Amino acid sequence: MKSEWHKCVLGDIVTFSSGGTPNKSIAEYWNGNIPWISAKTMKNERISSSDLYITEEGLQHGSKLAKKGSILFLVRGSGLFNGIPVCLVEKPVAYNQDVKCIESCCEVENIYIFYWLLAQANILKGLVGTTTIGAGKFDMDQIKQLEFCYPDKESRESIVKFAEAISLKIKTNNRINDNLHQQAQSIFNAYYDASDEKKQFTSLIHVLGGGTPKTGIPDFWDGAIPFFTPKDTGTPYVFQTEKNITESGLQHCNSRLYPKNTTFVTARGTVGKVSLAGKPMAMNQSCYALVSDVLDPILVYFYSLRAVDSLKHKAAGSVFDAIVTRDFETEAISVIKDDDSEKVLKAIKPMMNMIHSNTEEIRRLVALRDTLLPRLMSGEVDVSAIAV
């Protein structure tokens, strides 16, 4: 079948456009209504919003606009080590210099090229520079020389249909998870805000640390134990981490093996992100694990969200670049009465269990897609044999 396909290199069929950053000291360029994408905001395979927005003036003085259906490709930044550096634009967004906009310049559709790039995950990871000069970025000459094979239009449409069916299920699960999480937060916050009893955070919740095995000892690394760091924050569950350690590595670092539903808070680097362990995992020294002898782990998570939100508000106007244990020791929280806590937990625990299950299903769907797409897009597997 492959002999019937067209063969070229990626650089022959697409254009690459670089973005930019408006001057951050000019207020008129920022806080507009145009999403501005950087390495830090490329978090999902589909993108339409951002943590940062620019104005029309900002767009004209430093950035570029990617239209709906364009592909954004991350060429530099920590995100290269923490997922697939590509996303499809769902509504116009601006983008910075660490991102390139890819557009087809031939008959092959952008959506097909997008899924082709997703299918090259293992190849792309191997092309991320590790030398001092090239660390954390792609050599674009190598990217442009990647071999690109593609079939006729009907076959391309069938392959995209298969991939889109999986993507739709992933998107639906993510939307359900977001709704469930918002509902659970609303229920917890209603009781939390109604409470007139205050206690110190650390009188109910222990703040525990982590550690890193020596990186120069191979026997400590690439094992089966997920190793949580600030790069691995979830929404809210984390199942897979950038790095794993072995049992020996766990025994030779200052982290215990934290169980499922342990709350992790990032204390340095990306500060103040709160996640839940989807499975037992260890943790490095740039995070805290929050556990309690008297509260259910799910309640610990929601109390922690409120505490971290309070810490962020206290830091307003200053640089929020770290959380230390004293921050938690001096933080007072409202305490929900025991009877009410049971009501809250009865309502929100099934929601969190559903989020956990949906997130596991997303991981299985991604694994299925990542296994089949490279074979479909190389002609090894005939798309007609795949039931959509």
The pLDDT assigned to 135 comes to: 44
Chain CA centroid to CA 388, Å: 27
Domain ranges of the chain: 2-150, 196-335
Residue 284 has pLDDT above 90, yes or no: yes
The 10s digit of each residue's pLDDT in 369-381 is 889 999 999 888 8
Domain 2-150 shares a fold with domain 196-335: yes
The pLDDT assigned to 197 comes to: 96
Helix (H) or strand (E) holding 289: strand 287-291
CA–CA dist 74, 140 (Å, integer): 11
Residue type, 322: A
Residue 53 has pLDDT above 80, yes or no: yes
The pLDDT assigned to 322 comes to: 86
Cβ neighbours, 10 Å, residue 363: 15
Q: What is 2-150's CATH number?
A: 3.90.220.20
Q: Hey, which residues does 64 pair with through a beta bridge?
A: 95
Helix, coil or strand: residue 311: helix
CA–CA dist 223, 252 (Å, integer): 14
Our CA dihedral for 218, 224, 373, 125, rounded to 10 degrees, sits at: -30
- 384 or 190: whose pLDDT is higher? 190
Q: How confident is the model at residue 337 (pLDDT cuts 50, 70, 90)?
A: very high
Percentage above 90 pLDDT, the chain: 76
The pLDDT assigned to 320 comes to: 66
- Looking at domain 196-335, what is its CATH homologous superfamily? DNA methylase specificity domains (3.90.220.20)
Helix, coil or strand: residue 281: strand
3-state helix, strand, coil in the chain (%, to 5): 40, 25, 35
* Closest listed residue to residue 52, CA positions, set 82, 74, 32: 32
The 10s digit of each residue's pLDDT in 101-143 is 999 999 999 999 999 998 887 788 778 765 433 446 788 899 9
Average model confidence (pLDDT) across the chain: 91
CA–CA dist 302, 188 (Å, integer): 7
Q: How confident is the model at residue 318 (pLDDT cuts 50, 70, 90)?
A: low
CA–CA dist 305, 366 (Å, integer): 28
Alpha-carbon Rg for the chain, nearest whole angstrom, is 23
The pLDDT assigned to 2 comes to: 52
Please name the residues in contact with 246: beta carbons below 8 A apart, sequence gap of 6 or more: 219, 220, 221, 222, 223, 224, 225
Q: Report whether 237 contacts 280 (CB < 8 A).
A: no
Residue type, 166: I
Residue type, 334: S
The 10s digit of each residue's pLDDT in 181-239 is 999 999 999 999 999 999 999 999 999 999 999 999 999 999 999 999 998 988 899 99
Residue 161 has pLDDT above 80, yes or no: yes
- 20 or 76: whose pLDDT is higher? 20
Our CA dihedral for 194, 195, 201, 206, rounded to 10 degrees, sits at: -100
- 132 or 275: whose pLDDT is higher? 275
Q: Is the peptide bond before 297 cis (omega within 30 degrees of 0)?
A: no
The pLDDT assigned to 388 comes to: 56
The pLDDT assigned to 364 comes to: 94
Residue 80 has pLDDT above 60, yes or no: no
238 φ, ψ (degrees, to nearest 5): -120, 125
Helix, coil or strand: residue 246: coil
Q: How confident is the model at residue 17 (pLDDT cuts 50, 70, 90)?
A: very high
CA–CA dist 69, 103 (Å, integer): 9
Residue 256 has pLDDT above 70, yes or no: yes
Q: Which two tokens stand for residue 148?
A: 């690109």
Residue 81 has pLDDT above 80, yes or no: no
Q: How confident is the model at residue 45 (pLDDT cuts 50, 70, 90)?
A: confident
Q: Which two tokens stand for residue 174?
A: 């993510």
Residue 70 has pLDDT above 90, yes or no: yes
Q: Report whether 36 contacts 63 (CB < 8 A).
A: yes
Chain CA centroid to CA 27, Å: 29
